[in-house]
C-alpha cells in the first residue's frame, strides 16, 4: 500500500471514529481504531521501547519494586484547557476497562489531581519509599499536594527544584504494578515537560486543546516539542467543543468553531476525543469523583491506548 493510500484509510477511519457514535457501528469503528493504533504503536510501545529512544545520560532510575508498563504524558500548549480533567478521565476510563492505573501529578505549582480524585494527604512512606494514595476507583496517585501540610500552601520553588520533585515521584514512589500511568504536566513547554520527556520512559503524549484559532499554533508547539524530544504523539483531545443548552438542546460553540480536524489532519495525528463543556463534569471533579463521569467520550482514546 502506498503512503497516500495508507493515509486515506487512516483519515477515513479516524473520521468514522469521531462521528456521532451509533451503537451498531461502534464495534466496527473500534476494530478500525485498533488497527490504526497498532500501526502507529508498533514502533514505540511500552516503557522498554521508550527507554531505547531516550538518551541514557538523562534516563532516571526506576523504583526497583515498581512495574509500570506504559507511561502517557498529557500536555497542552496553554493553561486551563482541561489537561488535568483529561488526564484524570483517561485514567478512570482505562481503570473501567480493567487496567491498573496511576496518575503522576507533574504539575507541581498547580496540582489539581488529588482534588479531582478526592484523595488527601499526607502520603505515607516507609523511610525508603513513598506510597501513592489510592482513589475511590483504585487509581494510584502521587502529587505534591499529598506532601504538603497545608493543601493551600503555594509551592514557590525554582524550575530545577520542581523538576527534581517530578523525578522523585517517579523513582521514590512505590507504584507497584501499573498498566497505564498518566502524567499530568504543567501547561506549556517549560522545565517539567522537558524533564519528563527526557528522563521518563514515555510511550507517547496526548495533546489537549480547546477550539480556538490560536490553538493551531499552540498544538503545533507541543507537537514540535515532542518531535524534538523524539516522543511519539498518540493523538489530540479537543475539550470545550460546545455547550448544550439545557432548555432547547442547541449546541453553542463557546470558544468558537473547531479547527481540530484540520490541525489533526495536517499533523497526521488522530483526534482521540471531542468533549463538550459539561457543567456536571466540572461538578464531579470538584467533588472528588471525576471517575463517576461517563467514560463514553473516551472510548476511542481507550481503544488506542489499549493496544499500545
Ligand X SMILES: Nc1ncnc2c1ncn2[C@@H]1O[C@H](COP(=O)(O)OP(=O)(O)OP(=O)(O)O)[C@@H](O)[C@H]1O
Whole-number Å distance between alpha carbons of 72 and 16: 24
Position 204 contacts ligand X (CB under 6 A) = no
As measured in angstroms, the least distance from the Cβ of 4 to Mg ion is 39
Side-chain-facing half-sphere of 170: CA atoms under 13 Å: 28
Helices vs. strands in the chain: H and E counts, helices first: 11, 10
Position 304 contacts ligand X (CB under 6 A) = no
> Using CB under 6 A, which of 162, 285, 302, 308 touches ligand X?
285
Position 85 contacts ligand X (CB under 6 A) = yes
Nearest to ligand X of 112, 173 (CB atom): 112
> Using CB under 6 A, which of 84, 198, 258, 306 touches ligand X?
84
Strand intervals (E) in the chain: 67-75, 101-105, 133-134, 140-142, 177-184, 204-209, 233-238, 243-244, 251-252, 271-274
Position 83 contacts ligand X (CB under 6 A) = yes
Position 84 contacts Mg ion (CB under 5 A) = yes
Which residues make Cβ contacts (< 8 Å) with residue 291, sequence separation at least 6? 88, 92, 95, 96, 117, 135, 136, 137, 139
The grid coordinates listed for 145 are 499536594
Position 85 contacts Mg ion (CB under 5 A) = no
Position 227 contacts ligand X (CB under 6 A) = no
Interface size with ligand X, residues (CB under 6 A) = 21
**Cβ pair 76, 207 in contact under 8 A:** yes
> Using CB under 6 A, which of 176, 282, 288, 289 touches ligand X?
282
Nearest to ligand X of 10, 285 (CB atom): 285
Bridge partners for 104 per DSSP? 142, 183
Position 281 contacts ligand X (CB under 6 A) = yes
Nearest to ligand X of 201, 240 (CB atom): 240
* Residues of this chain that bind Mg ion (CB under 5 A): 83-84, 112
* Residues of this chain that bind ligand X (CB under 6 A): 76, 79-85, 107, 110, 112, 187, 239-240, 275, 277-279, 281-282, 285
Amino acid at each position: 500500500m502506498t503512503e497516500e493510500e495508507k493515509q486515506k484509510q487512516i483519515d477515513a477511519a479516524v473520521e468514522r471514529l469521531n462521528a456521532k457514535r451509533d451503537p451498531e457501528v461502534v464495534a466496527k469503528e473500534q476494530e478500525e481504531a485498533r488497527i490504526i493504533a497498532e500501526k502507529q504503536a508498533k514502533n514505540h510501545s511500552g516503557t522498554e521501547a521508550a527507554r531505547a529512544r531516550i538518551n541514557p545520560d538523562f534516563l532516571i532510575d526506576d523504583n526497583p519494586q515498581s512495574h509500570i508498563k506504559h507511561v502517557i504524558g498529557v500536555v497542552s500548549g496553554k493553561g486551563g484547557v482541561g489537561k488535568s480533567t483529561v488526564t484524570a478521565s483517561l485514567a478512570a476510563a482505562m481503570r473501567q476497562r480493567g487496567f491498573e492505573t496511576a496518575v503522576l501529578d507533574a504539575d507541581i505549582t498547580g496540582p489539581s489531581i488529588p482534588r479531582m480524585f478526592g484523595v488527601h494527604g499526607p502520603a505515607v512512606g516507609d523511610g525508603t519509599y513513598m506510597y501513592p494514595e489510592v482513589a475511590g476507583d483504585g487509581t494510584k496517585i502521587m502529587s505534591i499536594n499529598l506532601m504538603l501540610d497545608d493543601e493551600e500552601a503555594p509551592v514557590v520553588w525554582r524550575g530545577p527544584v520542581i523538576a527534581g520533585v517530578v523525578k522523585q515521584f517517579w523513582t521514590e514512589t512505590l507504584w507497584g504494578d501499573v498498566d497505564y500511568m498518566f502524567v499530568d504536566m504543567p501547561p506549556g513547554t517549560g522545565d517539567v515537560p522537558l524533564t519528563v520527556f527526557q528522563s521518563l520512559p514515555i510511550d507517547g503524549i496526548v495533546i489537549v486543546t480547546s477550539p480556538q484559532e490560536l490553538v493551531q499554533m499552540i498544538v503545533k508547539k507541543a507537537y514540535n516539542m515532542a518531535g524534538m524530544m523524539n516522543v511519539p504523539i498518540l493523538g489530540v483531545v479537543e475539550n470545550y467543543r460546545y455547550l448544550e443548552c439545557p432548555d432547547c438542546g442547541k449546541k453553542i460553540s463557546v470558544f468558537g468553531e473547531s479547527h481540530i480536524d484540520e490541525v489533526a489532519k495536517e499533523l497526521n495525528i488522530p483526534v482521540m476525543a471531542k468533549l463538550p463543556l459539561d457543567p456536571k463534569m466540572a461538578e464531579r471533579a470538584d467533588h472528588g469523583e471525576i471517575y463517576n463521569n461517563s467514560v463514553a467520550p473516551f472510548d476511542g482514546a481507550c481503544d488506542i491506548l489499549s493496544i499500545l
